[in-house]
């Protein structure tokens, strides 16, 4: 039996429910479409900001700018580098950790701020493992143990022996806690004696050894290439597990009589926790592609750094392992934040 037509302006209860349900379905569909546009194939739809916790001109900043310039070519959106220096990069790390997890604010995180700060500071405004998602490693920074030419040693074994027979003669410089941890780890594994002299930044720490104000230091490879070639610094060993192509005849510390010693600093990319997996995966893949470009590899070689790579899970595992190792070193040496 056919129902009579509805009178104009009067809606039946069942019709109202259907219309309400339909509106909800439309709203849900629009929301899903917007989410897909934001987090799917449309990403990125606007400029990306990469925050660096160090001043312009340093190693992390230069690498961020080099990779960022290449990344914007493949992503089709501007990539802006913003420096938020200060407080051992805590300011930058907190800023990104509290940013929206949409893939448009990223962090260049270095070893010091991501794994050493958490073991030195009782309280931090961010948790490296909980509040930030690792994307991939940009670069690895091998270090080198150097001595002033006046120090009467030519090997690591001779340095260790000299320090034990002259316990008050050796001082080492460190421009940050990362280099202090590296040297204290060497002391702990060998029984070597050397007093820590802190400096503000790697440049001052290196200049102190060149001037003879201190006798030894563990430092980045890149800033000391010229001084080593000029005979102003005496290289003894590298801190990586394998030899540095810059000095193929220079042994690793492990080869030089400190088995198991390895410490390489790194610079990596992070996003706020909650960033969609598809965005993290896309960024990881595109950065890996950029790191393989011949021009990028050539520039990295000039800076004496090694191109990174690897997955988010690999970087997270590395961070956890290093935190435990460096925590033990810091406790044994009573290292405090500078």
Q: What is the pLDDT of residue 56?
A: 86
Q: What is the pLDDT of residue 41?
A: 54
* Total length of the chain: 338
Q: What is the pLDDT of residue 52?
A: 96
Asked whether residue 23 is domain-assigned, the answer is no
User: Is 271 found in the same domain as 122?
Assistant: yes
What pTM was computed for the model? 0.82
Residue pLDDT tens, the chain, 338 long = 444 444 444 344 445 444 444 444 444 444 444 444 444 458 999 999 999 998 888 889 999 999 999 999 999 999 999 999 888 899 999 999 999 999 999 999 999 999 999 999 989 999 999 999 999 999 999 999 999 999 999 999 999 999 999 988 899 999 889 999 999 999 999 999 999 999 988 889 999 999 999 999 999 888 898 999 999 999 999 999 999 888 899 999 999 999 999 999 999 999 999 999 999 999 999 999 999 999 999 999 888 899 999 999 999 999 999 999 999 999 999 998 86
Asked whether residue 37 is domain-assigned, the answer is no
User: Is 137 found in the same domain as 268?
Assistant: yes
User: Is 117 found in the same domain as 56?
Assistant: yes
Task: Return the CATH number at 132.
Answer: 3.40.190.150
Asked whether residue 246 is domain-assigned, the answer is no
Asked whether residue 251 is domain-assigned, the answer is no
Task: Return the CATH number at 156.
Answer: 3.40.190.10
Asked whether residue 257 is domain-assigned, the answer is no
Query: What is the sign of the dihedral through the CA atoms of 109, 67, 54 and 92?
Result: negative
Say if CB 116 and CB 109 are below 8 A apart.
Answer: no
Of 164, 180, 143, give the one whose Cα is nearest residue 334: 180
Going by C-beta distance under 8 Å and a sequence separation of 6 or more, which residues neighbour residue 287? Answer: 67, 71, 135, 136, 138, 269
User: Is 150 found in the same domain as 66?
Assistant: no
User: Is 162 found in the same domain as 95?
Assistant: no
User: Is 173 found in the same domain as 102?
Assistant: no
User: Is 120 found in the same domain as 149?
Assistant: no
State which residues form the domain around 106.
Answer: 48-141+264-333
Say if CB 124 and CB 118 are below 8 A apart.
Answer: yes
User: Is 130 found in the same domain as 151?
Assistant: no
The total number of structural domains in the chain stands at 2
Instruction: State the Cα–Cα distance between residues 24 and 316, nearest whole angstrom.
Output: 41
User: Is 148 found in the same domain as 130?
Assistant: no
Asked whether residue 39 is domain-assigned, the answer is no
Q: Collapse the DSSP code of 160 into the 3-class scheme (helix H, G, I; strand E, B; otherwise coil) and give the result.
A: helix
User: Is 115 found in the same domain as 84?
Assistant: yes
Asked whether residue 14 is domain-assigned, the answer is no
Instruction: State the Cα–Cα distance between residues 61 and 109, nearest whole angstrom.
Output: 11
User: Is 147 found in the same domain as 123?
Assistant: no
Asked whether residue 186 is domain-assigned, the answer is yes
Q: What is the pLDDT of residue 2?
A: 40
Buried residues in 170-186 as b, exposed as e (16+ CB within 10 A)? bbbbbbbbbbbbbbbbb
Q: Facing residues of 136 across strands?
A: 269
Boundary residue ending a domain (222, 238, 254)? 238
Query: What is the sign of the dihedral through the CA atoms of 268, 271, 272 and 275?
Result: negative
Backbone angles phi, psi at 184, to 5 degrees: -65, -30
Instruction: State the Cα–Cα distance between residues 41 and 101, nearest whole angstrom.
Output: 17
Backbone angles phi, psi at 312, to 5 degrees: -60, -45
């Amino acid at each position: 039996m056919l129902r009579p037509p509805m009178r104009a302006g009067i809606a039946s209860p069942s019709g109202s429910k259907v219309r309400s349900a339909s509106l909800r379905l439309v709203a849900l569909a629009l929301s899903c479409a917007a989410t897909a546009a934001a987090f799917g194939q449309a990403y990125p739809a606007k400029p990306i900001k990469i925050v660096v916790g160090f001043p312009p001109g340093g190693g992390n900043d230069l690498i961020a700018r080099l990779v960022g310039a290449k990344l914007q070519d493949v992503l089709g959106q501007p990539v802006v580098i913003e420096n938020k220096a200060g407080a051992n990069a805590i300011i930058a790390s907190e800023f990104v950790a509290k940013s929206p997890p949409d893939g448009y604010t990223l962090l260049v995180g270095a070893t010091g701020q991501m794994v050493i700060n958490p073991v030195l500071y009782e309280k931090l405004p961010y948790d490296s493992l909980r509040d930030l998602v690792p994307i991939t490693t940009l670069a690895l920074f091998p270090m080198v143990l150097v001595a002033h030419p006046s120090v009467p040693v030519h090997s690591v074994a001779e340095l260790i022996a000299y320090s034990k027979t002259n316990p008050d003669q050796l001082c080492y410089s460190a421009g940050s806690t990362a280099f202090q941890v590296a040297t204290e780890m060497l002391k702990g594994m060998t029984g070597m004696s050397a007093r820590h002299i802190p400096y503000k930044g790697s440049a001052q720490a290196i200049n102190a050894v060149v001037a003879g104000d201190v006798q030894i230091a563990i430092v980045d490879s890149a800033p000391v290439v010229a001084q080593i070639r000029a005979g102003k610094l005496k290289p003894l060993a590298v801190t990586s597990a394998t030899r540095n192509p810059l000095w193929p005849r220079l042994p690793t510390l492990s080869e030089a009589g400190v088995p198991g010693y390895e410490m390489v600093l790194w610079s990596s990319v992070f996003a706020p926790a909650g960033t969609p997996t598809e965005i993290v995966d896309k960024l990881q893949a595109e950065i890996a592609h950029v790191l393989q470009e011949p021009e990028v590899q050539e520039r990295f070689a000039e800076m004496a750094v090694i191109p990174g790579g690897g997955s988010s899970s690999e970087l997270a595992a590395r961070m956890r392992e290093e935190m435990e190792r460096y925590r033990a070193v810091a406790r044994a040496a009573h290292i405090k934040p500078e």
